[in-house]
Homo-oligomer: A and B are copies of this chain.
Amino acid sequence: MSSSNALDGLTQALRKLPGVGAKSAARMAFHLLQHDRPAALQIASALEHAVGSIRHCAMCNTLSEMEICNVCSSGQRDRSKLCVVETPADQHAMERTRAYKGLYFVLMGKLSPLDGIGPRDIGLQKLFDRVVPRDEQGEPLSEDSREVQEVILATNFTAEGEATAHVIGQALKSRGVQVTRLARGVPVGSELEYVDLGTIAHALVDRR
């Protein structure tokens, strides 16, 4: 095509999408302009609407259009359980299982000392204040009078996610909170022959 600033600008902008390189971005730009201009305008307005209306839930940090998200404000959820995840996408995956009826707390990332990301950056203090609130005298509430009775750590099973889970677990256990971690084991539908050894070893130790 002849050089076009608008086309180049669109291709450059589309490269900011995760997983989209120069070739894919050009393909997307050509496709939209050549075959589907209504979709281009629809994507533009959906982006603007989402950026304008979606913020973080004041209770759990997830993406929400309201001050308090649907899950946190629901009367149908078990408020004694709090599941800690790394991202709204992880929470979305948990919700799709329909196996969990408690509440969530979404971290603002994961601990990563090498990148200078410490407990304060991912909002751990907010989590601790949520799980172990203080009374009017500034003293932590006793175990019986707390709303959250169990914290389920569902950070990723990567080095950083495990480290994050470890730090949270230690801190909460020292405050007398029951802390659990998602089970490690063999994925459903997989054949043992092709499962990595670390996973099999964990599945063996955690056998039930």
Contact = CB atoms under 8 A, between A and B. Distances in A.
A6 B66 CA distance: 11
Report the interface size class on chain A: 35 or more
Interface stretch (A13-21, A125-133, A196-204): A13-21
A26 to B, nearest CB: 7
A97 to B, nearest CB: 14
Interface of A: 1-7, 9-10, 12-14, 16-19, 24, 26-34, 36-37, 39-51, 53-54, 57, 62-65, 69-72, 87-89, 91-92, 95
B48 A41 contact: yes
Given A9-B49, A48-B44, A30 B87 contact: yes
B16 A50 contact: no
Contacts of A39: 13, 16-17
Contacts of A95: 1
A102 B18 CA distance: 37
